[in-house]
Amino acid sequence: MLAVEGLGVTYGGLRALDVVALEVAEGEFVTIVGPNGAGKTTLLKAISGAVPTEAGRIVYRGLDLARLRPSERAALGIAHVPEGRRVFPSLTVLENLELGSYRRAARAGRAQALAAVIEMFPILKERRGQLAGSLSGGEQQMLALGRGLMAQPDLLLLDEPSQGLGPRIVELIFETIERIRRERRLTILLVEQRVVEALELCDRGYVLETGRVVLAGARDALLADTRVQRAYLGA
């Protein structure tokens, strides 16, 4: 479904991504882990079109995304739930959700998608008329996830969904991501610093360090890898 080939991205003269390659098959759950500054967020932004690339290719269902604007990539079925939630604070919860279904393919099923999101996150029903900026951090993350699902995507890009949240909310968010995967069979590419939780959810994973892929493999192989255990699991 998605193939990243020799990707290079530079920020202010610094190489953020250097010859990065990865693949995500249809229906697969792939996780990218690594330390702060490794380039994980940049990678998702490059896929969704939020940052320009200077080398390599990003191919989605056989189509090179290089010349496509972010809105055109979204129209193809790529939904990006960004780091830091990025809800529209001056709009209501309901307005934020409705904005998620702006792509043409999602408009016809807006009511059904909204009902499904509300069922998944009941608190959003209670808060539907409330300004998004007044929500707690956990509620905003639920809203960001719900808005992404309103697009009825084929590929869901999730960037640090646990960032800045308390342990109970983090557990709920990861349970919800697992439920989304199980019930919808969505293709998911997750960037996350909570390595254990992220790898336990996925089919395969990549370890990114200083802009390069340094390890790749199936979930169990990465969890058992001594380099991963020493660097990220405290073993």
pLDDT tens for each residue of 140-160? 999 999 999 998 999 999 999
pTM summary value? 0.93
Which residues, including other chains, have CB under 8 Å from residue 206's CB and lie 6 or more apart?
A: 22, 30, 31, 32, 33, 213, 215, 216
pLDDT tens for each residue of 18-62? 999 999 999 999 999 998 889 999 999 999 999 999 999 999 999
pLDDT tens for each residue of 56-91? 999 999 999 998 999 999 999 999 999 877 899 999
DSSP string covering 99-122:
HTT-SHHHHTTHHHHHHHHHHH-H
